[in-house]
Amino acid sequence: MEDEISRLRHEIVELRRLLNKHQWSGLTPVGATGACPECAGSAPPEGRGHRPGCALAAALAASAAGAK
């Protein structure tokens, strides 16, 4: 339980860091084709998605894995 709380706190800190960095500027609405504000990777079919090492992609993957 303590590990889960610690993991969630770390995830919240990282998500807040990303939000403060970008302050929602340039974020693409859900379902729209555009580029990631962190790595500038474009969504399929035009691009291949997030680039390796993208912090936003890592945070989203961690959230998706935690939701399962």
DSSP string, 7-68: HHHHHHHHHHHHHHHHTTTTPPPTT---B-TTT-PBPTTTS-SSPTT-HHHHHHHHHHHHH-
Q: For the chain, which residues make up each domain, given as ranges?
A: 34-68
* Angstrom distance (rounded) from CA 5 to CA 1: 6
Structure confidence by residue, pLDDT tens digits, 9-50: 999 888 888 777 766 555 555 555 567 777 878 776 677 788
Give bridge partners of residue 42 from the DSSP assignment: 35
* Angstrom distance (rounded) from CA 60 to CA 68: 13
Given pLDDT bands bounded at 50, 70 and 90, which one contains residue 66?
A: confident
